[in-house]
Amino acid sequence: MSDKRAQHKSKYTLDRGIPGAFEGETITRRRLMTGTANAAGAVAVAAFALPALGFALGPIFETQPHSWQDIGPVDAFNPNNYVPVVVTITPGVSEIGKTTAYVRQKNPAIDTDRPDRDTPYIAISTRCAHVGCPVRWVDAAERFVCPCHGGVYDLLGRRVSGPPVRPLDRFPTRVRAGRVQLYTARFSVNSQLRRFSPRDPGEPLDGIGQYLYPSRPSARKP
């Protein structure tokens, strides 16, 4: 009985009576091939999955330095038309880190909804809410127009037609010593102009959309 138990516990395949075993062999060729194939498959899956996972989760941990930036004297803006201003969103990367915002003075006749109640000037982002193309303000039509896919927004930045899924993003503003300042952290709004932390283009904020596309932990408010 003890001999059989010792033979059963042997690490050598020949002692364990495995067909096709060789003397001194501790693992069968079938197990070796199977283990090698499984390891190669795991490496291949990791080669594709890890970069994709890093790309998906990277924005969650991304942080950007935001700041208040001077964009001009208070009399440079009026309540009926937008003035383009250039601000630096990402410092240290030359022109790539800059963006344009359209700014006007708050108009009590039309700026009655949130987030306009607590801001002296309205600053609209030029990033289209469809795929991020830069929109431009057309004064004669009183519309923001995206040249890429035909998105059109009204005076308040709300979608009028085309594929955008929500209104244009906005920037907070304030006045200090007679100068208008813009905070470089965007915030998003839904069709009722309710304020949300920033979402990426293509992410709706009405109905279930606000839950399907939650805010990013790295998004900072002023």
CATH number at residue 87: 2.102.10.10
Mean pLDDT, 10 residues at a time, the chain of 222 residues? 53 59 58 73 77 58 75 94 92 82 92 70 95 94 94 95 95 94 93 90 90 66 36
Per the structure, the complete domain to which residue 122 belongs is given by 68-212
Q: What are the tokens at 182?
A: 């813009």
Same domain, 153 and 107: yes
pLDDT of residue 35: 66
Give yes or no: residues 28 and 100 share one domain.
Answer: no
Residue type, 110: I
Determine contact, residues 127/207, Cβ cutoff 8 Å: no
Same domain, 6 and 93: no
Q: What is the DSSP string of 139-171?
A: TTTTEEE-TTT--EE-TTS-EEESS-SSPPPEE
What's the CA gap between 181 and 198, in Å, rounded? 19
CA distance 203 to 190: 10
Would residue 221 count as lying in a domain? no
Q: CA–CA separation, 219 vs 131, rounded Å?
A: 19
